[in-house]
Amino acid sequence: MTEIVKRAFTIFLSFFFLSFLYLFGGNTAFILFISIVSIYSLYEWTSISSKNIAFLPSFIILNSIIYYFDFVNTYYLSIITLLVWVTLIYSMILLSNQLKIFIRKYYMIIGLYIFSSFFLILINMHPHDVTMSSHSYLIDNKHYFLFIIILISSIDIFSYISGKIFGKNKIIPSISPNKTLEGYLGGFTFTILFFILFFNISNLIWTYVDLLYLTIIILLAFFGDLFMSFIKRMYDIKNSGNLLPGHGGILDRLDSYFPTLPLFYLWLMT
C-alpha cells in the first residue's frame, strides 16, 4: 500500500472506532480507552529514548489511586500543566540547548507528568464548579470529548493541506524541516473560519473571548506538534512508533493534544 492509502485506511478505522465508542460506549468504556491511550503513550515515550519500561506499572498504580480517591483538583492541575507547557515551549524556542540537557536528565519525570496530566484532565472532562465542587460524569458530557477531537483534527488537516499547497518558508527547520509558515497560517485561518461557521450554523452563542481561547489553543497545538518533533530530533528518530500505518505512533497523533487540553478544560469546563 502507498503511504496515502495507509493514512486513509488508518483514518477510516480510527473514525469507525471512535464513532462506535461515542455512540455506544459507557462511562467505563471511555475511561478504559483513555487509560489505554495514556499507558501506550508513555510506552512510546520510553521507547523513543530506549528507557526501561519499569515506570509503566508505577504510572498505572499512581493514576489509579489518584482517580479512585479523587484528591487532585482538575482546575488547578490544568493551570499548573498549562504553565509547564508554556515553560517548555519558551525553552524550546529560546533555550533549546539548555532544554535538551534538562530533558535528557529528567526524561521519565517529564513523561510521567505529561501523560498523567493528560489522563487526569481527560477523564474529568466535564463541568466542575470550584466553589461547590460539583461533578458530573464524563459520559454525560461526551460532546466535549468529540469537540476536542474535531478541533485538533481540523487544525492538523488544515495545516497539512495549506502546507502542501502553499508551503515555502520553513519555520524552524532545525526542529521540523517539513513545517512551514504558510501551513501554520493556513491551519490557523481556516480553523477559525470553520468554527465560526460551525457555531453560527448550530446556533451556538460565541463571543470574542471564545475566539481568543480558540486562537491560543491553535497556537498551543502547533507548538505541541513542534515539541514532539524536537524530542524525536533529539533522539534521531522519524516517528514515535508504528502502531498507526501511514501516521507513525500514538504520540505522532496526540502531540497537539497535550498542551491544548488544559486550556480547553479551563475554557469550557469552568
Taking the CA atoms of residue 209, residue 212, residue 218 and residue 223 in that order, the dihedral angle to the nearest 10 degrees is -130
Confidence at residue 54, expressed as pLDDT on a 0 to 100 scale: 77
Cell numbers for 106: 529528567
Under 8 Å CB-to-CB from 161, ≥6 apart: which residues? 186
For residue 243, what are the CA distances in angstroms to 3, 59, 74?
14, 21, 30
3-state DSSP assignment of residue 130: coil
0.85 exceeded by pTM: yes
User: Percent of the chain, pLDDT > 70?
Assistant: 93
Is the pLDDT at 262 greater than 90? The verdict is yes
Average pLDDT over residues 42-67: 85
Average pLDDT score, the chain: 86
Residue 200: CB atoms within 10 A of its CB come to 10
Average pLDDT over residues 17-36: 88
Cell numbers for 136: 458530573
**Backbone angles phi and psi of 248, in degrees to 5:** 110, -130
Average pLDDT over residues 117-135: 72
Taking the CA atoms of residue 87, residue 89, residue 118 and residue 76 in that order, the dihedral angle to the nearest 10 degrees is 30
pLDDT category, 40, cuts 50, 70, 90? very high
Average pLDDT over residues 245-258: 85
Confidence at residue 246, expressed as pLDDT on a 0 to 100 scale: 65
